[in-house]
Amino acid sequence: MIDFILSAPIFLLAFVLVISIVVVIHELGHYWVGRWCGVTIESFSIGFGPTLLAWTDKHDTVWRVAALPLGGYVKFLGDADAASAPDAEALATLKAKVSRERGPDAVKGVFHFLPLWRRAAIVAAGPVANFLLAIAIFAGIIMTAGVATTPAIVGTVLEDSAAEEAGFLPNDEILAIDGRTVESFTDVAQVVALRAGDPLRFDVLRDGETITLNATPRRTQREDPIGGKMSTGVLGIGQNMELNRERHGPVTAIAMGAGQTWTVVATTGDYLGRIIRGKEPADMLGGPIRIATYSGKTAVDTLAIEADPLQKLQILVLRLISLAGVVSVGLGLINLVPIPVLDGGHLLYYAYEAVAGRPLSERAQAFGFKVGLLLVASLMLFATWNDLIYLRGFFS
């Protein structure tokens, strides 16, 4: 605990760096597409709470940095609040005022008066920007530091494990799991981790011959990479220590970066689906506290390695940027959840408008935003509770 307190400034700085990168890019997605669509943008805020720094640009947009770096927002002309909830009475007054003072064409700068497709594009731009950021980060790492791959070859088989029971032997090469091709040991670990209790079929190459082994991963409480506790499926095999690291050119790196981004999306969707079906506990769902713990512990561990200061800095930046890529995918996915106040909720309203030919009633929209706010608050409380339980394991 004392070591943690002494390292608190490092934890805080690392967290602010990671979350700020992700939030700024998300909001810039809304901002740039909004600007392209001709919307008047009143303010751009990174963080919430008291303003630490503010300035006004040539477009009369107020840019501000706030004290709590747990999010941000872009406020368009016509928004009632940072969640872009419309205020019917205010919009009617605004429409009359703008038309009178600036001419009829001035209403084009009001977000809620835009054509449906433009509003949808502006809203979707935030999550899309997060996915593009993740692809860029992963591709950049692949081009500069290279990508490490460990062949899906069994190095060791633990006694009394699911793997031993299934008949795995050292030097077996795993080709596919339930018909899905695997290319590295990491692929195997990702599949097994979310299949505790599920029988799996493994296609294995042994002595030049392909055989089939059936194994059921066992749920095990184990340490995660930074010392916390996590419940996951375990097969009981160790990897072959042969390791390859290879750099790639821009085209291949972007394709691989997109593939890594999709893997994070698919794994997250798979995990959420298993939670709904009651096959996985929800203890891996975390929030800002866990992100802060991961980023801070990454920074502390990096600074503790034996290397010269420049090397430490390079490794630290690489690790934190890589973490930002994963967090960026998570933020993009969360914002696409169809809950009012989130981007996905706005898109749900627009989908209704497109089908019905008219917007959802003002009363229904207002009610939806209230319910959405309650749901988001509940999810945040649940994630925070999970994080506190996680931290208990972290400190034990």
Catalytic residues: 27
Are β-strands 154-157 and 237-239 bridged in parallel, bridged antiparallel, or unpaired?
antiparallel
Q: Is 171:209 a contact under the CB 8 Å cutoff?
A: no
Amino acid sitting at position 361: S
- In DSSP terms, which residues pair with 76 in a beta bridge? 41
Our CA dihedral for 297, 302, 305, 306, rounded to 10 degrees, sits at -160
- In DSSP terms, which residues pair with 244 in a beta bridge? 149
Q: Is 182:201 a contact under the CB 8 Å cutoff?
A: no
Residue 162, by phi and psi: left (phi above 0), alpha (psi -120 to 50) or beta? alpha
Alpha-carbon distances of 247 from 59, 133, 244, 320, rounded to whole Å:
43, 20, 10, 20
Our CA dihedral for 84, 85, 87, 91, rounded to 10 degrees, sits at 30
Strands laid side by side in the 173-177 sheet: 180-181, 173-177, 200-206, 209-215
> Is residue 336 helix, strand or coil?
coil
Q: What are phi and psi of 215, to 5 degrees?
A: -140, 150
Query: C-alpha 15: how far from its chain's center?
Result: 14
Nearest one of 157, 356, 148 to 242, comparing CA atoms:
148
Q: What angle do CA 177, 178, 182 make, to 5 degrees?
A: 30
